[in-house]
Chain A
Amino acid sequence: GESVGLHLPTLSVQEGDNSIINCAYSNSASDYFIWYKQESGKGPQFIIDIRSNMDKRQGQRVTVLLNKTVKHLSLQIAATQPGDSAVYFCAERAAAGNKLTFGGGTRVLVKP
Chain B
Amino acid sequence: ETGVTQSPTHLIKTRGQQVTLRCSSQSGHNTVSWYQQALGQGPQFIFQYYREEENGRGNFPPRFSGLQFPNYSSELNVNALELDDSALYLCASSLAGSQETQYFGPGTRLLVL
A residues contacting B by CB (< 8 A) are: 2-8, 32, 34, 36, 41-46, 49, 89, 91, 96-105
Contacts and interface: CB of A to CB of B under 8 A. Distances in A.
Interface of A is mostly: loop
Interface stretch (B13-21, B37-45, B71-79): B37-45
Contacts of B105: 43
A99 B48 contact: yes
B39 A6 contact: yes
B111 to A, nearest CB: 14
Given A42-B106, A97-B98, A100-B102, A3 B38 contact: yes
- Report, nearest first, the 8 A-B pairs whose CB atoms are least far apart: A102-B42, A98-B98, A3-B41, A99-B45, A6-B40, A43-B104, A98-B56, A44-B104
Contacts of A100: 33, 35, 43, 45, 92, 102
Point out which of A3, A89, A96 has the most chain B C-beta atoms below 10 A from its C-beta: A3
A4 B38 CA distance: 11
Contacts of B102: 34, 46, 100
B107 A43 contact: yes
Given A4-B41, A105-B41, 20 more contacts: A3-B38, A3-B40, A5-B40, A5-B41, A41-B106, A42-B106, A42-B107, A43-B2, A43-B106, A45-B2, A45-B104, A46-B102, A98-B56, A98-B98, A99-B45, A99-B48, A100-B33, A100-B35, A102-B42, A102-B43
